[in-house]
Chain A
Amino acid sequence: METNKYILEFEKPINDLYKKIDELSILSSDKNKKELNLDISIIKDKAEKLREKVYSNLEPIQIVQIARHPERPLMLDYVKNVFDDFLELHGDRYFGDDTALIGGFSNFEGQPVMVIGQQKGASTKMNLYRNFGMPQPEGYRKALRLMKMAEKFNIPIITLVDTPGAYPGLGSEERGVAEAIAHNLQDMAGLSVPIISIIIGEGGSGGALGIAIGNKVAMLKYSIYSVITPEGCAAILWRDAGLSSVAADSLGIISEKLLEMKVVDEIIEEPLGGAHSDRQKVYKKVKIFIKKELKRYSKYSKEKLIQERYDRFRSIGEYYE
């Protein structure tokens, strides 16, 4: 277990038990070691059972909290731990470089790939630099530029999605953030290389979708994907952001529900306690997933890749004829 600074409300009872264990460990001397160790293992057992219980009955709003956990691994953590290397490429060639949506060349077990994703900041200072992972038009235009380059050199694209949404700002609107996202949705439909998308944290609406037109879209178990934030939804429907837990229940934003609706194709398991409680385990799972998909798509023709991606999104929707 890694020790975490930020404890979510529902994790407190578990955390309290671990605190007790720490206290007991300090008290431990040669004389009472045997006794105390027995106590410690009993409490540890109890804590793990409690964790299992809590995590098998998580409410959607609690999953939202895990998806936004300040210690949850971020895009660059995956880049560092899942890929061999990374050469970041900057700029949209029109206006600027977006620090919230980044990308570049990388090797995955020796195979060149293009990695693109939203990067949140790990601290307040970095969050300001990363604009809290909220991209502006430049980010989407840079992403598309890099994707087209990947197509040119016939290398697969891997996108890692983690954003509250595109940035709702003045400049962002003026420079056409809607047009930038729309353009990506349109042009990603025609790319002739595999696109593998993984929602690693928050999949915030159009801001997430703008890089998530994958042949395959996977989701980490405790990540979310939503048309609107639960808070935003509650503010609109009930004029009360406090009802965000009700909105989270209604919007169908958790991985199991999205798998059922075929919005995502696969769930990548996380340890009980979330990705941040055992990062290495999650990196390994992500690695296995990417390896499997790259292998599968290596046999696809360009036409088949494009057709599969079209059909994937074409089939989503529920209605009566």
Chain B
Amino acid sequence: MSILDWFAKKNDSVVVERSKLDIPGNLWVKCITCNGVLYSKDLEENNKVCPHCGHHFRLTSKERMKLILDKDSFEEFFSTMQPKNALGFKDTISYDERIKKAKKSSNLNEAVVTGKGLLDDYEVVVGIMDFSYMGGSMGSVVGEKLTRAIEYATEHNLPVIIFSSSGGARMQEGVLSLMQMAKTSAAIYRLKQKNLLYISVLCDPTTGGTTASFAMLGDINMTEPNALIGFAGPRVIEQTIRQKLPKKFQRSEYLLEHGMIDYITERKDMKPVLSRILGYTSHKKISKGNNNGN
């Protein structure tokens, strides 16, 4: 249901903000939280965090990777997988058209990038979701890529870090999308059976079926400040309970208060914190020239 919010947001500032950032030559960006006018280059250099109010703008999977993994260490898995219109789904346009459009506007084959790489010389398997591809929705490809990545980690005794940013299950693939929740969660079960580490970083926004599956299952659940994290969309909840929702409802700090999140970190500290967790959990850095992991 929370894909509601993605569609609702399509028309407001959040997406406008993103497209502004993506247009080269567009030098100035307005912060949607403090209304401050920011020089694009400054914003990029500050990891897309507003220098005035600390608003964390959304990152693409590419930007996130650059921030988290050691330079040139990433090796992508299953990059050629593409979605299929198994139901022959059509809304205002057909799902096939939607797939083409999403590919063109995001320059991605799907809403998640998976692979392995180094984080401060720790070998890790990562999944990074990208909200710019159909609202980060989870269909068969997202489920399959994440499951394969988790299975790879299970087989090779590696820790897994997944950055989610997703409106939930993808409607256009119907129940097949729903089943990806079961598939990914079962893979996480097997990873944990081997006492391997799983860190879930719930990025803005993570809702619906994504939250109700792998994203809430981290040994450690982390997030950035003020990220929207929930199951049902706020509008649906308001309609159901017929009362206004509390301030900061379904935001990072609110979830932390209610015991759902281990740790909130600002973006600049994300990598160092992840590195520390890998250290606490007895992972060994690889020495250069030896890439056999631990």
Interface residues of A (CB under 8 A from B): 165-170, 172-179, 181-183, 185-187, 189-190, 205-206, 209-210, 213, 225-228, 232-233, 235-238, 250-253, 258, 261, 263, 309-310, 313-314, 316-321
Distance of B76 from chain A, by nearest CB (Å): 14
Bound state CA distance, A190 and B186, in angstroms? 8
Known contacts being A228-B1, A313-B182, is A318 close to B173, with CB within 8 Å?
A: yes
Distance of A72 from chain B, by nearest CB (Å): 21
Distance of A109 from chain B, by nearest CB (Å): 30
- Contact across chains for B237 and A173 when beta carbons are under 8 A apart: yes
* Interface CB pairs A-B, < 8 A, 20: A167-B240, A168-B231, A168-B233, A170-B246, A179-B212, A182-B214, A185-B212, A205-B209, A206-B231, A209-B181, A210-B212, A227-B174, A227-B177, A228-B1, A236-B7, A263-B179, A313-B183, A319-B81, A319-B144, A320-B81
* Cβ-closest 9 pairs across A and B: A168-B232, A317-B140, A185-B185, A189-B186, A318-B86, A178-B231, A178-B211, A237-B91, A178-B212
Distance of A188 from chain B, by nearest CB (Å): 8
Q: Residue of B at shortest CB range from A239?
A: B7
- Contact across chains for A238 and B91 when beta carbons are under 8 A apart: yes
Distance of B83 from chain A, by nearest CB (Å): 6
Interface residues of B (CB under 8 A from A): 1, 3-4, 7, 80-84, 86-87, 89-92, 140-141, 143-144, 147, 169, 171, 173-183, 185-186, 188-190, 192-193, 208-209, 211-217, 230-233, 236-237, 240-241, 243, 245-246, 249-250, 258-260
- Contact across chains for B178 and A205 when beta carbons are under 8 A apart: yes
Task: Please tell me which one of the listed residues A177, A186, A238, A263 contacts residue B186 in the complex, with CB atoms under 8 A apart.
Answer: A186
- Contact across chains for A186 and B169 when beta carbons are under 8 A apart: no
Bound state CA distance, A252 and B82, in angstroms? 21
Task: Please tell me which one of the listed residues A170, A181, A237 contacts residue B171 in the complex, with CB atoms under 8 A apart.
Answer: A237
Known contacts being A178-B231, A227-B175, is A186 close to B80, with CB within 8 Å?
A: no
- Contact across chains for A182 and B1 when beta carbons are under 8 A apart: no
Bound state CA distance, A236 and B86, in angstroms? 20
Bound state CA distance, A48 and B174, in angstroms? 34
Q: Residue of B at shortest CB range from A207?
A: B212
- Contact across chains for A318 and B80 when beta carbons are under 8 A apart: no
Bound state CA distance, A182 and B230, in angstroms? 12
Q: Please, which residues of chain A bring their CB within 8 A of the CB of B237?
A: 168-170, 173
- Contact across chains for B211 and A182 when beta carbons are under 8 A apart: yes
- Contact across chains for B179 and A253 when beta carbons are under 8 A apart: no
Q: Please, which residues of chain A bring their CB within 8 A of the CB of B171?
A: 227-228, 233, 236-237, 251
Distance of A291 from chain B, by nearest CB (Å): 26
- Contact across chains for A227 and B80 when beta carbons are under 8 A apart: no
- Contact across chains for B189 and A189 when beta carbons are under 8 A apart: yes
Q: Please, which residues of chain A bring their CB within 8 A of the CB of B211?
A: 178, 182
Distance of B166 from chain A, by nearest CB (Å): 12
- Contact across chains for A314 and B183 when beta carbons are under 8 A apart: yes
Q: Please, which residues of chain A bring their CB within 8 A of the CB of B246?
A: 170
Besides A227-B174, A238-B91, A313-B179, 7 other A-B contacts (C-beta < 8 A): A176-B216, A178-B211, A178-B216, A186-B189, A261-B175, A261-B176, A313-B183
Distance of B262 from chain A, by nearest CB (Å): 12
Distance of A302 from chain B, by nearest CB (Å): 14
Distance of B29 from chain A, by nearest CB (Å): 29
Bound state CA distance, A117 and B191, in angstroms? 29
Q: Please, which residues of chain B bring their CB within 8 A of the CB of A189?
A: 182, 185-186, 189-190
Q: Residue of A at shortest CB range from B91?
A: A237
Bound state CA distance, A30 and B259, in angstroms? 77
- Contact across chains for A174 and B258 when beta carbons are under 8 A apart: yes
Q: Please, which residues of chain A bring their CB within 8 A of the CB of B92?
A: 237-238
Distance of B136 from chain A, by nearest CB (Å): 15
Task: Please tell me which one of the listed residues A167, A236, A321 contacts residue B4 in the complex, with CB atoms under 8 A apart.
Answer: A236
Known contacts being A170-B245, A228-B1, is A251 close to B174, with CB within 8 Å?
A: yes
- Contact across chains for A232 and B1 when beta carbons are under 8 A apart: yes
Bound state CA distance, A232 and B84, in angstroms? 23
- Contact across chains for B84 and A206 when beta carbons are under 8 A apart: no
Known contacts being A187-B189, A237-B91, A313-B186, is A321 close to B80, with CB within 8 Å?
A: yes
Known contacts being A227-B169, A252-B174, A316-B176, is A173 close to B250, with CB within 8 Å?
A: yes
Bound state CA distance, A185 and B169, in angstroms? 15
- Contact across chains for B241 and A261 when beta carbons are under 8 A apart: no
Q: Please, which residues of chain B bring their CB within 8 A of the CB of A250?
A: 87, 89-91, 174
- Best-surrounded residue of A166, A173, A227 (most CB of chain B within 10 A): A227
Q: Please, which residues of chain B bring their CB within 8 A of the CB of A181?
A: 212-213, 231
Distance of A227 from chain B, by nearest CB (Å): 4
Task: Please tell me which one of the listed residues A179, A235, A320 contacts residue B216 in the complex, with CB atoms under 8 A apart.
Answer: A179
- Contact across chains for A169 and B174 when beta carbons are under 8 A apart: no
Known contacts being A168-B237, A186-B186, A319-B84, is A209 close to B178, with CB within 8 Å?
A: yes
Q: Please, which residues of chain B bring their CB within 8 A of the CB of A177?
A: 212, 231-232
Q: Please, which residues of chain B bring their CB within 8 A of the CB of A263?
A: 175-176, 179
Q: Residue of A at shortest CB range from B230?
A: A173
- Contact across chains for A318 and B176 when beta carbons are under 8 A apart: yes
Q: Please, which residues of chain A bring their CB within 8 A of the CB of B209?
A: 205-206, 227
Q: Residue of B at shortest CB range from A314?
A: B183
